[in-house]
């Protein structure tokens, strides 16, 4: 059977795709499920797999050509089968189409913002140079280009920064696998029979392959977006030699404005460490292909807790050692405490108010209230936080002010040098990817002459355990310190229908309100989909909605989001589906 492969339509608005590469050549055999080609759209890059076994008989378009959707690009058939008629028909279809991705000249309309006719109009090579291609840098570059600037992005590594390559996305891929493992083990509770879950375990090699595939697709998508928006990509390490010059591998580029988005690097404790012990950073842990038997996690912040959850879910014995008196210090104490108890029930051993003193032999030694103790391990995860990475930037010579190693910025992200901005982890304000992205947008708008400032009071936090934790605004303790009269509404997820039927009814929704005006001061969630639902709370707070307005907003039933509505009712003293 002869099959003509067409350029797929991967989205409602997709009209064309660029053929990035062929994974097979003419005459190669291919099996169903093997990748045949990779395409790039304006939003993403994706591998397309073969839908049948066969032989690649004809590749009709070249790599780097852009093809309208549904037009033929290749032919697959059984070995020895005549495919010439299908090939001629396909070529006929292609002959009348433009493969450069451009419409005919007479129909083209330029809707982009006006740009200077040449960079020299302002005396610089570029209007904006961004150093660093993470979630702050690439967003800043795209936004600046959309606002009419000539933009260059300097990146020494892969686009996407730590978040996309070694942080947010890889971590969540591992955590999703842990969730899938739990679902398989719990399948009997969902009335699923005929499944032997006793032997279910994670295949770390397959998991790493899945992680690499997803990360590669997302990186390709970001690179496509940069190209689509006209951002020039410069590969290498960027060094700022003066307020208007960035040097990359010995070549100087000038710009009216510079945005520093160099991110952060992992911290480590200065303690004696036995060379025989494997001490991993989060980067190392995210790339492991074999699970350890027992691990000590030093640090009870988001990174340490998320990876501890993954490891214990996979069957690893896990001990957390945290210097502070509790884990997840950025989360409301009540919510964080509930999550800690869940982790302990899963088998995680908690040691808070503990100071690690050394790593020796096969153990981590730490001081606690009861004296010195030790925890055995065959590897250690060092998760004590991250610090601003200003490598390659001589801040002292440039006159850029620092505070505890981070670059000082104002609400518009300007540094002490007026035309140099700093966004993301390097300014040390809120080390979250979504914060960096918004800072990038604000900086781009300010550079483009728009009035824009950051509001750090409305930035959500997210912790991807199961159930998830998410919060925005003040904790209960902070609210009671700042406001004379505070009401707290709580709604347990045991009373939520969607949580019950999903088999995960452990959790709590908590709304904190100023009783004088009804203003929502903070929202804290521990429930399924908390990291999605928190966006509703964030939007409500940004719009200065009251608890009554959230309570009177119709939510779909059954849904987890109803818990937020119910907690708002409770904050008003009139819970509907729960006896307070």
Catalytic residues: 557
Q: Which pair of tokens denotes residue 321?
A: 């050692």
Q: List Cα–Cα distances, 235 to 43, 95, 220, 248, 443, in angstroms.
A: 22, 37, 15, 8, 22
Name beta bridge partners: 248. 238, 251
CB burial of 185-217 (b: ≥16 within 10 Å; e: otherwise) equals eebeeeeeeeeeeeeeebebeebbeebeebbbe
- Measured CA to CA, the distance from residue 119 to residue 111 in angstroms comes to 20
DSSP state, 389?
-
Q: Which of 459, 421, 442, 38 is nearest to 224 (CA)?
A: 38
Residue pair 557/497 in contact (Cβ under 8 Å)? The answer is yes
Q: Are strands 294-298 and 317-321 parallel, antiparallel or unpaired?
A: parallel
Helix, strand, coil percentages, rounded to 5, for the chain = 30, 25, 40
Q: What angle do CA 536, 542, 548 make, to 5 degrees?
A: 65
Continuous segment of H or E residues that includes residue 472? strand 468-473
Q: Which pair of tokens denotes residue 540?
A: 């409500």
Counting other chains too, the contacts that 397-401 makes at CB distance below 8 Å and 24 or more residues apart are 398/240, 398/242, 398/243
């Amino acid at each position: 059977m002869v099959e003509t492969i067409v350029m797929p339509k991967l989205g409602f608005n997709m009209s064309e795709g660029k053929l990035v590469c062929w994974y097979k050549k003419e005459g190669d055999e291919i099996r169903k499920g093997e990748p045949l080609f990779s395409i790039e759209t304006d939003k993403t890059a994706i591998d397309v797999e073969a839908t049948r076994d066969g032989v690649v008989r004809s590749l009709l378009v070249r790599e780097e050509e852009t093809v309208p959707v549904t037009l033929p690009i290749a032919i697959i058939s059984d070995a020895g089968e005549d495919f010439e008629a299908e090939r001629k028909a396909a070529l006929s279809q292609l002959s009348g189409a433009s493969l450069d991705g451009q419409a005919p000249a007479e129909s083209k309309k330029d809707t982009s913002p006006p740009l200077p006719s040449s960079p020299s109009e302002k005396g610089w090579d570029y209007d904006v140079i961004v150093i660093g291609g993470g979630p702050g840098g690439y967003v800043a570059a795209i936004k600046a280009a959309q606002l009419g600037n000539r933009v260059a992005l300097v990146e020494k590594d892969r686009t996407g920064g730590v978040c996309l390559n070694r942080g947010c996305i890889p971590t969540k891929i591992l955590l999703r696998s842990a969730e899938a493992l739990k679902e398989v083990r719990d399948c009997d509770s969902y009335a699923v029979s005929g499944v032997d879950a006793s032997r279910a375990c994670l295949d770390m090699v397959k998991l790493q392959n899945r992680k690499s595939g997803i990360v590669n697709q997302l990186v390709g998508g970001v690179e496509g977006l940069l190209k689509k928006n006209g951002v020039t990509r410069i590969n290498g390490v960027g060094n700022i030699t003066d307020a208007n010059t960035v040097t990359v591998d010995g070549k100087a580029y000038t710009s009216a404005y510079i945005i520093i988005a160099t991110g952060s690097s992992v911290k480590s404790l200065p303690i004696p460490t036995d060379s025989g012990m494997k001490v991993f950073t989060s980067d190392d842990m995210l790339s492991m292909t074999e699970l350890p038997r027992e691990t000590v996690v030093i640090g009870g912040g988001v990174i340490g807790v998320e990876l501890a959850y993954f490891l214990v879910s996979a069957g690893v014995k896990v001990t957390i050692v945290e210097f502070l008196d509790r884990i997840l210090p950025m989360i409301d104490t009540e919510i964080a405490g509930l999550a800690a108890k869940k982790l302990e029930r899963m088998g995680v051993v908690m040691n808070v108010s503990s100071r690690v003193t050394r790593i020796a032999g096969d153990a981590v030694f730490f001081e606690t209230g009861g004296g010195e103790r030790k925890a055995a391990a065959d590897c250690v995860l060092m998760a004590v936080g991250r610090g601003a990475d200003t490598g390659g930037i001589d801040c002292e010579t440039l006159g850029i002010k620092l505070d505890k190693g981070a670059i000082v910025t104002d609400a518009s992200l300007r540094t002490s040098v007026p035309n140099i901005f700093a966004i993301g982890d390097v300014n040390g304000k809120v080390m979250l990817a979504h914060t960096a992205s918004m800072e990038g947008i604000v900086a781009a708008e300010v550079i483009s002459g728009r009035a824009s400032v950051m509001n750090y009071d409305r930035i959500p936090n997210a912790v991807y355990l199961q159930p998830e934790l998410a919060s925005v605004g003040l904790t209960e303790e902070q609210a009671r310190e700042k406001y004379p009269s505070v009401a707290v509404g709580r709604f347990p997820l045991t009373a939520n229908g969607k949580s019950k039927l999903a088999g995960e009814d452990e959790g709590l929704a908590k709304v904190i309100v100023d009783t004088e005006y009804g203003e929502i001061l903070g929202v804290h969630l521990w429930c399924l989909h908390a990291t999605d639902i928190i966006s509703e709370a964030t939007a409500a707070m940004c719009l200065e909605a009251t608890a009554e307005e959230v309570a009177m907003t119709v939510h779909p039933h059954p849904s987890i989001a109803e818990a937020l509505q119910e907690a708002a009712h409770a904050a008003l003293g009139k819970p509907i589906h729960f006896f307070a």
